[in-house]
């Protein structure tokens, strides 16, 4: 066990190679991941840890350019930053045009910036688990800020963002963007809203619409999400954006809000793991347990309805019936 | 029970009001739904039942206009048709422009066409269950064709379409549409591909790209999905589309393919119900069972890791541990 302890110490010292290796271990799973995870979980954290920032929005909204500019800005403030990119269109995951790649490489060579990209292939659940595990490693490394960039489409992506302390939703003035965002459930999860491409016409209107939508429901945490304008092209609005995020973090530090928020994220992670685990065990039973395998066959040939089979199985396992 | 039997007979006779009421019962759930469902499930079906056609594609691809034209065409062939629309942009669910509404109303007054729209609000699982229940009712009514129109974005929508015998994927020549379709998993589920808006430039190229993408993998059912051009605006290509769908259905009728396909759909429905049921019972336990409620509290305050808690719970229920 001495080696795992040593490993964790190297992570805590900020050894980039140790951090990268630890995240890979976590992704691979199995014994080493288990050991490392329990060692990390046992390790008491001195302070509140890094500020975990989520950045989400539709493809093409300009998240990557904004992330890039934020990196430049935060570096100029002397911050140590880690980036987790789970956006297929992000330069960090290799899906972008040449110009973006060049920018990204500039940061990749910076020893105080750690960049990790995650594939969006595979199940959403698996991805959100990978992100959570990477965060558990990064949490114990000496970063000031962790940026989590994810494209805001689909439930899988929303499931990822809940681990962030502060979520920024990036919108553009293109037609109906705010309506799409509302449909995708982005209104509920944003702590800061950024109407990007503010040089295009209509941005002020979008900002106004978002502002109005946000005021329909009052948030129970007492935070009033600001709606800001930015222009990634003109390198405009990044400082105001960061100030808003810091203000939100300061808000979280009052009245145990951060502790509560991170606690909720842990419970949600537990629920996610539980859903996946229950289903994996059930699938196993459907294959290995003769009784259940026969039931499934009956459903397949139409001798038993799906409802009747499920009722029976739930009764077996939980002593309760299915309600249609 | 005599009344439920009578009710089912009215459905089988094609009594539109009985059909509509039965679907509403199913949506409301509870006792009457249970009774009706088991009565329908008990009822032997004389033939193979209606041809269930799924139509999916991105918003704005022209699904609704195509559905409308197909309705007109099929009516001219003397077919009896039911439509289930779960597309928020469909005129059948009320989200379309005036012209579409007018067209829709024309069909709504036709006694041989049954139209039912389903909200896309609520959980995907709930929606796919509603569709399946509506199909169970419609399956026992004297329709020749059931059209299931659903917008092809997100896993929830794909989960709905698997109940169809023949799935048509509608694409447009707009930039990168075929790439988006591939990403959304539409390539795997389409039995017929329709490049709509063929009057726009680039449609031939899109058709070629799709054709090539389809030839990368051979389908185990031996079907080679045709890629057709259509123009909803010019009312062009609808007959060829329908012919391709009938050809696919004829293919399914050979070598027990239809029986197998519908069997798979029933198994998938069973899995879906099982996932939902397991989680509902688990959530109940997390609230009501002191032991589990305490575990969740420990996770929330950070005294126990989500992984450790889930391991313990799975061990309790399935006598197995969580693999990270």
Angle between helical axes of A257-288 and A290-301 (0-180°, round to 10): 80
For position A205, what pLDDT does the model report?
87
Q: How confident is the model at residue A160 (pLDDT cuts 50, 70, 90)?
A: confident
Token couple for B213:
């993408």
Dihedral angle at the C-alpha atoms of B4, B10, B11, B16, nearest 10 degrees? -130
Token couple for B170:
């509608």
For position B174, what pLDDT does the model report?
76
CA–CA dist A129, A116 (Å, integer): 15
For position A168, what pLDDT does the model report?
94
Q: In 3-state terms, what secondary structure has residue A145?
A: strand
CB-based contact B302 A264, cutoff 8 Å: no
- Taken in order B20, B21, B23, B27, the sign of the CA dihedral is positive
CATH code that applies to domain B45-255 = 3.40.50.300
Interface of B with A in 232-271 (CB under 8 A): 262-264, 266-267, 269-270
Rounded average pLDDT over A213-237? 85
Which residue in this structure is represented by tokens 């007979």?
B9
Residue B228 has pLDDT above 90, yes or no: yes
Rounded average pLDDT over B300-306? 88
Q: How confident is the model at residue B156 (pLDDT cuts 50, 70, 90)?
A: low
CA–CA dist A248, A226 (Å, integer): 10
User: DSSP secondary-structure letter at A305?
Assistant: -
Higher pLDDT: A105 or B189? It is B189
For A172-200, letters b (16+ CB in 10 Å) and e give bbbeebbebbbebebbebbbbbbbbbbee
Mean pLDDT of chain A: 83
Closest-CA distance, A139 to chain B, in angstroms, reads: 14
CA–CA dist B129, B324 (Å, integer): 31
Rounded average pLDDT over B122-130? 62
Q: For A35, which residue in chain B has the nearest alpha carbon?
A: B324
CB-based contact A34 B324, cutoff 8 Å: yes
ipTM over 0.90: no
User: DSSP secondary-structure letter at A231?
Assistant: B
Element (H, E) at B155: helix B155-161
Query: Which one, of B182, B231, B176, B183, lies nearest residue B205 by Cα?
Result: B176
In chain B, the DSSP E strands lie at 51-57, 81-86, 113-117, 145-151, 166-171, 192-195, 227-229
- Tens-digit pLDDT profile for residues B51-97: 999 998 877 788 888 988 999 999 999 999 999 988 554 445 444 33
- Tens-digit pLDDT profile for residues B97-120: 334 444 555 676 677 789 888 765
For position A124, what pLDDT does the model report?
47
For position B41, what pLDDT does the model report?
73
Token couple for B151:
């917008």
Q: B318 to chain A: which residues are within 8 Å by CB?
A: 278, 281, 285
CA–CA dist A125, A158 (Å, integer): 11
For position B321, what pLDDT does the model report?
54
Closest-CA distance, B312 to chain A, in angstroms, reads: 10
Residue B122 has pLDDT above 90, yes or no: no
Of the partner residues B277, B285, B314, the one whose CB lies closest to the CB of residue A322 = B277
Least confident of A205-209, B2-6, B123-127, B204-208: B123-127
| Domain ranges for chain B | 45-255, 269-318
CA–CA dist A96, B323 (Å, integer): 35
Contact B90, B64 (CB under 8 A): yes
Dihedral angle at the C-alpha atoms of A192, A156, B194, B103, nearest 10 degrees? -60
Of the partner residues A262, A279, A307, the one whose CB lies closest to the CB of residue B37 = A307
Q: In 3-state terms, what secondary structure has residue B53?
A: strand
| Angle, CA A258 vertex, CA A218 and CA A41 arms, to 5° | 140
> Which CA distances in Å does B87 have to A207, B61, B159?
28, 12, 14
Farthest CA pair distance, chain B = 69
CB-based contact B275 A279, cutoff 8 Å: yes
Token couple for B12:
């089988």
Residue B282 has pLDDT above 60, yes or no: yes
User: Measured between alpha carbons, how far apart are the two ends of chain A, in Å?
Assistant: 51
Residue B215 has pLDDT above 90, yes or no: no
Give the 3-state DSSP-derived string for B210-264, with helices as H, strands as E and coil as C: HHHHHCCCCCCCCCCCCEEECECCCCECHHHHHHHHHHHHHHHHHHHHHHHHHHH
* CA B310 distance to own-chain centroid: 33
Pick one of 3.90.1300.10, 1.10.730.10, 3.40.250.10, 3.40.50.300 as the CATH number of A46-254: 3.40.50.300
Residue A126 has pLDDT above 70, yes or no: no
Rounded average pLDDT over B291-320? 89
Beta bridge partners of A170: A57, A194
Q: Is B275 in CB contact (< 8 Å) with chain A? A: yes
Instruction: Provide CB contacts within 8 A for B162, sequence distance 6+.
Output: B189, B264, B265, B268
Q: How many CA atoms lie within 13 A of A47 on its CB side?
A: 10
Q: A269 to chain B: which residues are within 8 Å by CB?
A: 306
Query: Which one, of B65, B224, B64, lies nearest residue B151 by Cα?
Result: B64
Q: In 3-state terms, what secondary structure has residue B159?
A: helix
Residue A45 has pLDDT above 90, yes or no: no
Q: Is B155 in CB contact (< 8 Å) with chain A? A: yes
């Amino acid at each position: 066990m001495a080696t795992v302890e040593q490993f964790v110490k190297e992570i805590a010292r900020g050894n980039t190679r140790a951090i990268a290796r630890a995240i890979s271990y976590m992704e691979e799973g199995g014994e080493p991941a288990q050991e490392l995870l329990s060692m990390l979980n046992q390790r008491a954290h001195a302070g509140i840890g890094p500020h975990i920032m989520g950045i989400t929005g539709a493809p093409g909204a300009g998240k990557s350019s904004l992330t890039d500019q934020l990196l430049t800005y935060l570096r100029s403030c002397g911050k140590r930053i880690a980036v987790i990119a789970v956006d297929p269109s992000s330069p960090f995951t290799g899906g972008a045009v040449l110009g973006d790649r060049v920018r990204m490489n500039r940061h990749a060579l910076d020893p105080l910036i750690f960049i990790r990209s995650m594939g969006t292939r595979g199940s959403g659940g698996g991805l959100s688990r990978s992100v959570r595990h990477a965060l558990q490693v990064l949490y114990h490394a000496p970063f000031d800020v962790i940026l989590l960039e994810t494209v805001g489409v689909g439930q899988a992506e929303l499931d990822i963002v809940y681990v962030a302390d502060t979520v920024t939703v990036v919108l553009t003035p293109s037609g109906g963007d705010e309506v799409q965002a509302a449909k995708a459930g982005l209104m509920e999860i944003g702590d800061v809203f950024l109407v990007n491409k503010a040089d295009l016409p209509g941005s002020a209107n979008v900002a106004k619409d978002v502002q109005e939508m946000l005021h329909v429901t009052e948030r129970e945490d007492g935070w009033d999400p600001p709606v800001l304008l930015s222009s990634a092209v003109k390198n405009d609005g990044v400082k105001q954006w960061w100030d808003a995020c810091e203000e939100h973090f300061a808000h979280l530090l009052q009245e145990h809000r951060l502790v509560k928020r991170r606690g909720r994220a842990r419970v949600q992670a537990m629920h996610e793991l539980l859903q996946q685990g229950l289903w994996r065990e059930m699938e196993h039973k459907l294959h290995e347990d003769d009784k259940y395998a026969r039931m499934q066959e009956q459903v397949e040939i139409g001798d038993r309805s799906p409802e009747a089979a499920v009722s029976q199985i739930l009764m077996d396992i939980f002593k309760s019936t299915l309600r249609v």
